[in-house]
Amino acid sequence: MTQLKIPDGEYMYSGHVACPGCGAAIAMRFALKALGAKTMVVIPACCWGVIAGPYPQSSLKVPILQTAFATAGATASGLRAALDMRQDTDTTVMAWAGDGGTFDIGIQALSGAVERNEDFIYVCYDNEAYMNTGVQRSSATPFGTRTTTTPGRGWKKSRKKNMVEILAAHRIPYAATASIAFPEDMIRKFSKAQQMKGGTRFLHVFASCPTGWRIPSEMSVKIARLAVQANIFPLYEVEDGTNYTLN
**What tens digit of pLDDT does each residue of 183-228 get?**
999 999 999 999 998 899 999 999 999 999 999 999 999 999 999 9
Q: Please name the helix (run of DSSP H) or strand (run of DSSP E) that holds residue 95, with its range, or none.
A: strand 92-98
Determine contact, residues 10/36, Cβ cutoff 8 Å. no
Residue 87: C-alpha distances to residues 2, 40, 75, 83, 194 (Å): 36, 15, 18, 6, 18
What would the CATH number be for the domain defined by 23-246? 3.40.50.970
**Mean of the per-residue pLDDT values of the chain:** 96
98 phi and psi angles, rounded to 5 deg: -80, 180
Measured distance CA(38)–CA(217) in Å, rounded? 32
What is the strand order of the sheet 236-239 is part of? 64-66, 39-43, 92-98, 121-126, 201-206, 174-179, 236-239, 243-246
Strand partners, 206: 126, 179
Query: What pLDDT is attached to residue 203?
Result: 98
Asked whether the predicted pLDDT for residue 178 surpasses 90, the reply is yes
CA-nearest of 129, 42, 25 to 77 is 42
pTM of the predicted protein model? 0.96
pLDDT-derived band at 5 (thresholds 50, 70, 90) equals confident
SS3 state of residue 176: strand
User: Please, where are the H alpha helices in the chain?
Assistant: 23-35, 47-51, 72-85, 107-115, 163-168, 183-195, 210-213, 220-229
Query: What pLDDT is attached to residue 191?
Result: 97
What DSSP character marks residue 60? Answer: B
Determine contact, residues 127/98, Cβ cutoff 8 Å. yes
Measured distance CA(126)–CA(199) in Å, rounded? 22
